[in-house]
């Protein structure tokens, strides 16, 4: 390796014996990254969506492209600061998380439709949902990396679980979700004093001097619960392409940040993505196999990135070309009248 200034050379990625990037991330880089994420969240809530609004398709497209641009720019900065191997792992993790999160988007649409949440208030619920998801994902990631570091055999469990999930998806055995029967929803209704009436986009309101949770709070809890369920798949999947906490966390974080705009863009197009589930199943199966065979055959980062990218492109193109033509899913309507939610 050619000599570089210490300030840059200390950031370059080396290669572990396992084939994964091994980087040393200084404290200032962690702080700068967390600061950037906070700034982006504040930009979203205080500037782009300070007032409740229904995100039209054109605006949703622009915001989705904006968030993808942020994610790509951060990936480029990883390549510059830590090397191509680290950058490849970031982009592989980003693609895995972003693609698996599309199913999460459709579940959010189901929850909002089931509880008749007006489109005007959905973005605020998703903002806090994304904020909570970032915290929960960080906990999952640090715990996962710590477990793998101490007990390498847990990779085989993660890999087997991902293959099992892939087989279920291929067989069309994705579980039906009834939000009202969710344990989290029932606990909220039982434990938290609530009102069945909305108060704008507030999660809590005061009635007769008593602080009560609005229905949006229960919906938020459901959104967070579904993210935990999806993280059980996506975090082990990303750990198949990188073992660095910084890379795994940032690839998750920048993918998750763009999900609100992606929701308003895709939520009513579920029926058109006919082959997406099969594509996600192939990705999960691939990373599961990668985990299990890592001792005997190491699949490089660039190969993983190419496989994931090709599968996604083929699934999307096949859905658009061969899927059922015509109308968006009639069961999902982002714009609902402002009314009471089910008690």
Distance between CA atoms of residues 63 and 258, nearest Å: 8
Give pLDDT, residue 76.
95
Distance between CA atoms of residues 17 and 25, nearest Å: 19
Helices vs. strands in the chain: H and E counts, helices first: 12, 4
Below-70 pLDDT ranges, the chain: 1-18, 172-185, 267-273, 301, 323-343
Distance set, CA 141 to CA 45, 92, 249, 308 (Å): 26, 16, 7, 21
Contacts with 173 (C-beta within 8 Å, 6 or more apart), sequence order: none
Distance between CA atoms of residues 101 and 230, nearest Å: 8
Give pLDDT, residue 17.
44
- 150: exposed, middle or buried (C-beta count within 10 Å: 0-12, 13-18, 19+)? exposed
Give pLDDT, residue 10.
39
Distance between CA atoms of residues 161 and 141, nearest Å: 17
Long-range interactions of 269-272: CB distance < 8 A, separation 24+: 269/328, 269/329, 270/106, 270/109, 270/328, 270/329, 270/332, 271/323, 271/324, 271/327, 271/328, 271/329, 272/319, 272/320, 272/323, 272/324, 272/328
Task: Give the pair of three-digit tokens for residue 193.
Answer: 């004093």
Give pLDDT, residue 39.
92
Residue with tokens 């570089």: 4
pTM for this structure? Answer: 0.72
Distance set, CA 315 to CA 41, 165, 312 (Å): 31, 18, 5
Query: pLDDT tens for residues 220-272?
Result: 888 887 777 777 777 777 887 888 889 999 998 998 888 888 887 776 565 56
Cross-strand bridge partners of residue 16: none
Residue with tokens 């992606």: 262
Distance between CA atoms of residues 246 and 88, nearest Å: 13
């Amino acid at each position: 390796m050619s000599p570089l200034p210490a300030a840059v050379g200390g950031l370059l990625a080396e290669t572990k014996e396992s084939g994964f990037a091994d980087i040393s991330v200084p404290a200032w880089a962690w702080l700068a990254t967390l600061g950037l994420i906070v700034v982006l969240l504040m930009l979203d809530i205080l500037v782009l969506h300070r007032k409740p609004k229904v995100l039209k398709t054109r605006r949703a497209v622009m915001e989705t492209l904006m968030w993808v641009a942020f994610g790509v720019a951060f990936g480029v900065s990883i390549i510059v600061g830590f090397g191509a191997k680290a950058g490849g792992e970031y982009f592989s993790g980003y693609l895995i998380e972003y693609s698996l999160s599309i199913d999460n988007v459709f579940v959010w649409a189901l929850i909002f439709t089931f509880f008749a949440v007006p489109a005007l208030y959905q973005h605020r619920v998703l903002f806090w949902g994304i904020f909570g998801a970032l915290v929960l994902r960080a906990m999952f990631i640090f715990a996962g990396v710590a477990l793998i570091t101490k007990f390498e055999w847990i990779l085989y469990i993660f890999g087997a679980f991902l293959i099992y999930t892939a087989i279920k998806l291929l067989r069309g055995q994705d579980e039906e979700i009834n939000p009202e029967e969710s344990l989290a929803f029932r606990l909220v209704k039982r434990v938290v004093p609530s009102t069945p009436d909305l108060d704008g986009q507030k999660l809590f309101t005061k009635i007769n001097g008593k602080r009560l949770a609005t229905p949006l709070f229960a919906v938020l809890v459901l959104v967070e619960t579904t993210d935990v369920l999806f993280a059980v798949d996506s975090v082990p999947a990303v750990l198949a392409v990188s073992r660095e906490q910084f890379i795994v966390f940032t690839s998750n974080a920048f993918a998750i940040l763009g999900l609100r705009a992606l929701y308003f863009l895709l939520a009513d197009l579920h029926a058109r993505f006919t082959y997406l589930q099969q594509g996600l199943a192939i990705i999960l199966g691939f990373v599961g196999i990668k985990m299990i065979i890592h001792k005997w055959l190491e699949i490089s980062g660039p190969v993983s990135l190419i496989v994931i990218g090709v599968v996604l492109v083929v699934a999307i193109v096949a859905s658009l070309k061969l899927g059922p033509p015509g109308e968006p899913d009639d069961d999902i309507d982002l714009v609902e009248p402002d009314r009471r939610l089910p008690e």
